[in-house]
Structure 1
Amino acid sequence: MKPPCLERARLADGRLVDLALDACGTTVVDLREAAESGPATGSEEAWTFDGWVGAGRRLEPGGSVDLGGRLVLPPFVNGHVHLDKTFVGSRWQPYRGGPTVSERVAVERELRNEVDVPVAHRALALAEALIGQGTGVARTHVDVDPDVRLDHLEAVLALRESLGGRLDLQVVAFPQSGVLTSPGVAELLDEAVLQGADVVGGLDPHEFDGDAERHLDAVFAIAERRSVPVDLHLHELGRHGERALELLADRTEAHGMQGLVTVSHAYGLGTLSAESLRRVGERLARADVRVMTNGPAGPMPPVLLLRSLGVTVFSGTDNVRDAWWPYGDGDMLTVARTVAYQSGFRRDEELEVALDLVTDAAAHALALDGYGIAPGRPADLVILEASCAAEAVAAPARRTVVRSGTPLTAATTPLTPAPRAGSIRPQNHLTSSRS
């Protein structure tokens, strides 16, 4: 009897292939060139695509589905999210932040005391939304500060365990309130890594902590002592942003951490002169410092130029409906589209780059082993009603998420449940910004 097969799948590189699965229907065993004209099957049990999705079952030996040239991707990779901050799973919270990072940190501290839905519940609600939209791996930054200490970390680590591999989490111990300006945070970051955080974070070493060299020394000391990567939030513009990137590259090489350091946001790269930008970009490439962007409404890293210089650029959602940002549903295709829009992408090859930022480039940045659609890998797929990568980015498309060969139904946890009386006290709406 023939092995189960997903026929006429269009890969992101344009190839049309038949995906042969193992006898259990859970693992890809072969990719064979497919005919454009129609399935060359002769299988004992041929399903229509809608029939297979509606049945929600794995294919058995002899079974096949004609995907009809639909675009098939590996699971999305969300390279930057804040699961512990989100209000998803709670009632709507009007944005009330301020113009500076320090003011927004203060507002967030107030809101922590007003939300009666636990971090664990809200983080789970957002995690379920990510899963339902096709994300398979996410790097989540988790606040570590003198107020919450390691409470948020413990909640997210427990969540990671409970998800059972449905969503693989890399956890960053993130000093949202600073390192030098918050006594004891360096020690908390170190303890966070000992308890299970995978990455140590940092934040605006000049403008928040006031001493870039000491800030980076503290962060890299933990990274070297505990053998973990670094992921630094950098919102600083102008000379501060430029200098922070130079110092980050210096520390990366000095500690032998090439390929293990990420700068998230790096807004300052969007404010440099052409000459300075090329110089800093080449410096980041030599040190193999990766750059994360979510396509913000303001200065942002020039994606195509950085990639041309050899810098790994990737994307994440960043904040999803929290004290920092009222928008978002966790959809990585929306992130790809936003980055493309903000970057002025129009040509197919540019839109393909945007999709790469939330798939292969993000997997490379996060050092994921065994990512992609290939023999021996799980049949974890995102099937889109699109003919090519560019079309998938340019316009919303119906999607089907497949895990271990089984089509999934939509996420079971709604992003906006019915309001709970007293969950959060309404506040006035102000202007928005990101963490």
Structure 2
Amino acid sequence: MTHDTHTGFGGLTMPDGARADIAVADGRIAAILPAGMLPDATDMTGYVALPPLVEAHIHLDKTLLGLPFQSHLPGATVADRIAQEKSLRASLPLSAFERGGALVRQVAGYGTQAMRSHVDIDGDLGLSGLEDLLKLRESVADLAEIQIVAFPQNGILRDAPVADLLAEALANGADLIGGLDPAGIDRDVAGHLDVVFGLADRFGVGVDIHLHDAGELGLFELADIAKRTEALGLQGKVAVSHAFALGSGLPGVGAVVEALAKARVSIVTNGPNRMVAMPPVAMLRKAGVAVVAGSDNIRDAWSPHGDGDMLRRAGLIAYMQDFRDDSDLEVALSMATSAGARLLGLSDYGLSEGARADMLLVRASCVAEAVAGASPDRVSVRGGRVIARDCKLV
């Protein structure tokens, strides 16, 4: 792959609305100057400068990109969908390394430079998916950073080898431990969470749990997760994806939100359709809960939808939450940029002097227009080098 190297980018609109030139040297932002101060800079007048997009929830091992279109395999429950996926997975001609690589290249074209990917660990797959993603992470390091969550898609207690396999995955390069519907899948909240948090404590890693369980049951599980997070000193290192129970409107939601805020448990959402209850972003943020954006499934056995464009995902979340004001659209963008960067613990992130020269330049007059329009006219810059134009890798 070739890259264009630039000494700087001129005439940009910064997130605060100011016009500026960004000088680049040795892969870092050397200076942010008033527009017109860098006569040799590449003219980017008409573009707004954003930090790189961050994908907080993706399944690189599940995608079917690179294969002919697969018609959706319906399932009425999470367990049904797990079974359908296992059946399909047995016949796939391309490895997770190949399919996941196609997805990484696609999302990098859109401007994503960091992502957290879950990888299935179960008695059938063993660690094969993890091995593919570890190899993939190394091969695409010039495009994006990848965090890997060891994810028990088939449950833990109902799949006897999984607890030991999860430990082995963490010992062999997985960055975080995952979990899935302690009640809905394993039917044992305490038993499931004992394994997840026990492994987090043993290996000194963070936690990222899928929680589809809704209503009072889901709220109970969220409260338990917050309690365990505080007990183990894992504040700021635990995330719950989906958390549909928070959108239930039940009387107990407020107390659970307070517990999550106190334990600094983050919530990750993909802006789901109205068939499920989406966590209330504004209410959570007001209470001090970090809310982060992710795509979740992209063109896989779970969903034929999605493309991994986190700018469009921010716009979708804004639409689902009825965010209309410029300030609200800026919040939606932060969920796909700075909030995701904090969740992933990224260093050197952001548009500031001395930071790595990583940025996304989008044809728009301001942040709000960038989110509302999600223009494909974009330039993705990594370490001062242009790696993608118009949503395609250079």
Distance of 1:339 and 1:378 partners within structure 2: 28
The corresponding residue for 1:98 is 75
On the 8 A contact 1:16/1:69 being kept in 2, the answer is no
What's the CA shift for 1:164? 2.7
TM-score by length of 1: 0.86
1:283 aligns with 2:262: no
Q: Are residues 1:4 and 2:2 paired?
A: no
Unaligned ranges ≥5, structure 2:
1-5
* 1:409 Cα offset (Å): 4.1
Partner in structure 1 of residue 321 of structure 2: 343
Q: Secondary structure at the match of 1:408?
A: strand
- The match for 1:271 is 248
Shift of 1:204: 0.3
Count of aligned positions: 384
Alignment pair present for 1:309 and 2:310: no
Whether 1:161 and 2:138 are equivalent positions in the alignment is yes
1:33 maps to 2:37: no
Which residue number corresponds to residue 22 of structure 2?
Answer: 19
* 2:41 match: secondary structure: strand
Q: How does 1:214-233 map to 2 (within 5 A)?
A: 214-233=191-210
Structure 1 equivalent of residue 186 of structure 2:
209
**Which position in structure 2 is the counterpart of 1:60?**
none
Tell me which amino acid in the other structure corresponds to 1:402. Answer: V
1:70 corresponding residue in structure 2? 47
Once the two structures are superposed, residues 256-305 of structure 1 have per-residue CA deviations (whole angstroms, 9 ceiling, x without a partner) of 100010001101111132x4222111110000000000000131110011
Deviation of the 1:6 alpha carbon: 1.8
Which structure would you say has the larger Rg? 1
Amino acid aligned to 2:261: A
Name the SS of the counterpart of 1:149 in structure 2.
coil
When residues 116 and 269 of structure 1 are mapped into structure 2, their CA distance, relative to the original with a 3 A threshold, is same
- In structure 2, the partner of 1:377 is 355
8 Å contact from structure 1 (residues 352, 390) kept in 2:
yes
The one-letter code of the counterpart of 1:337 is: G
Identity %: 44
Alignment of 1:407 onto 2:363: no
Distance 2:344 2:16 in 1: 21
- Alpha-carbon deviation of 1:370? 1.5
Bigger strand share: 2
For 1:139-178, what aligned pairs fall within 5 Å after superposition?
139-178=116-155
Query: 1:412 offset after TM fit, Å?
Result: 6.5
In structure 2, distance between residues paired with 1:162 and 1:367: 21
Mapped partners of 1:40, 1:13: distance in 2: 19
Structure 2: distance between partners of 1:144 and 1:342: 32
Asked if the contact 2:21/2:37 (under 8 Å) is kept, the reply is: no
TM-score normalised according to structure 2 size: 0.94
Please list the CA deviations of residues 340-369 of structure 1 after superposition, one character each: whole Å capped at 9, or x if unmatched: 111111111111111000000111112111
SS in 1 for 2:54: strand
The C-alpha deviation readout for 1:222-271, integer Å capped at 9, x for no partner, is 00000000000000110111001000001001111000100011011111
Q: What's the CA shift for 1:396?
A: 2.7
Between 356-365 and 156-165, the greater mean CA deviation after superposition: 156-165
SS of structure 2 residue aligned to 1:376: coil
Displacement, 1:215? Answer: 0.7
